[in-house]
A = this chain, B = another copy of it.
Amino acid sequence: MNFNAVTIRDIAKELNLSVSTVSKALHDSYEISEKTKKLVLECAQRNNYRPNPIAQSLKQGNSKSIGIVVSTIENQFFSQVINGIESVAHKEGYNVIITQTHESYDLEVKNVNHLTSRSIDGLLISLSTETPDVEHLKKLHAQGLPIVFFDRVTEEINTHKVISDNYNGGYDATKHLIDSGFRRIAHITSPPNISITKERLAGYKDALTDAGIFTPDDYICYCPHGGRDISEIENALNFLLNLKDKPDAIFTTSDRITTTTISLLNKLKVAIPADIALVGYTNTTLADILNPPLSSVHQQGFEIGQKATEMLLNLIKSKWPVTEFETVVLPTHLFVRESSIKKDKNL
């Protein structure tokens, strides 16, 4: 049931004009007299006529909408990215269709299929943690669908990418902990297959190496689902807290892992930072009022969204197949709060 019954044809009938005259009048064509234009416009207004965009899309061969795939919009980083995307897309008359993978590969494939089968003009995607390969995207990319990756990218597809400076984010967070006097710094992170994990981990490792601190591999814990399930982080913490050389600080990646870690440490009566200091990778606007206020690496979510969308729209609008691609890296910023300030426990 199409609720909007008023078509260009209805107007034509009502005014005893041809369909093409009405269409041209609505487009303010020079071929139509002012009198007729006025007549048509008035009639369209009165009947609340709205051109059927589906018909327009069919005619024009584009849908003026772009698809977004993220893990979950509950993650403030992603909702900030989406705001950035919208700010650019809407300005250019593009609509945005948001889908969530909840870190599942299955859902990612389904969403991508759904989006392309709804005829999007381009795709913005941050890969799911569980995505083992990108064949589903390679095919589309080969067919000419403009794709821009952001946040979690893949090297297997050559296209534009926008990421945070994850390496330096990881380096800075770790160095800050070192500079604050911590030496046994653990790392709880997402699965090792996704790009952000590797990059942040590399930063973490290099900061430690540069400071001459040896860190056992035991200190690095991976959460298979990126912290989707509390148990993943419970396991990691149990493991870390039971090590004979218990860490005195933890560097966590991702919103979910970070906030869940605080929650669990609080529950376990492990004082932050007295017993264990914490620096997270998170964009939550609540970092300031958490208990304790959370030191965190902040990413320019909004800007990432903006940049990615600009690049995507360039691809979409390009008349020629684009072969030169670039990867934009935006800086991260470390906010130091209480959770990483060395305190004497007995103070």
Interface, chain A (partner B; CB < 8 A):
1-6, 48, 50-55, 57-58, 61-63, 65, 72-74, 76, 79-80, 82-83, 86, 90, 95-100, 114, 116-119, 121, 139-140, 143-146, 259, 262-263, 266, 284-286, 288-293, 316, 318-319
Contacts and interface: CB of A to CB of B under 8 A. Distances in A.
A95 B114 contact: yes
Contacts of A118: 53, 65, 95
B73 A100 contact: no
A51 B114 CA distance: 11
Contacts of A318: 1
Most buried by B among A54, A73, A140, A266: A54
A74 B65 contact: no
29 contacts: A1-B61, A1-B62, A1-B316, A1-B319, A2-B62, A2-B119, A3-B140, A3-B143, A4-B143, A4-B145, A50-B117, A53-B118, A53-B119, A54-B57, A54-B119, A55-B58, A58-B58, A65-B118, A72-B79, A73-B73, A73-B98, A74-B83, A79-B79, A95-B114, A95-B118, A266-B289, A286-B286, A290-B290, A290-B291
A117 B95 CA distance: 11
A281 to B, nearest CB: 16
Contacts of A57: 54
A330 B96 CA distance: 30
- Copies assembled: 2
Nearest to A75: B79
A73 B121 CA distance: 23
Top 3 nearest A-B pairs (CB, nearest first) are A291-B291, A3-B144, A2-B61
A54 B58 contact: yes
A83 B65 CA distance: 21
Nearest to A267: B288
A80 B76 CA distance: 13
A243 to B, nearest CB: 24
Contacts of A292: 291
A262 B114 CA distance: 42
A48 B138 CA distance: 12
Contacts of A145: 3-4
Nearest to A256: B285
Contact of A117 (B1, B53, B286): B53
A54 to B, nearest CB: 5
A100 B114 contact: no
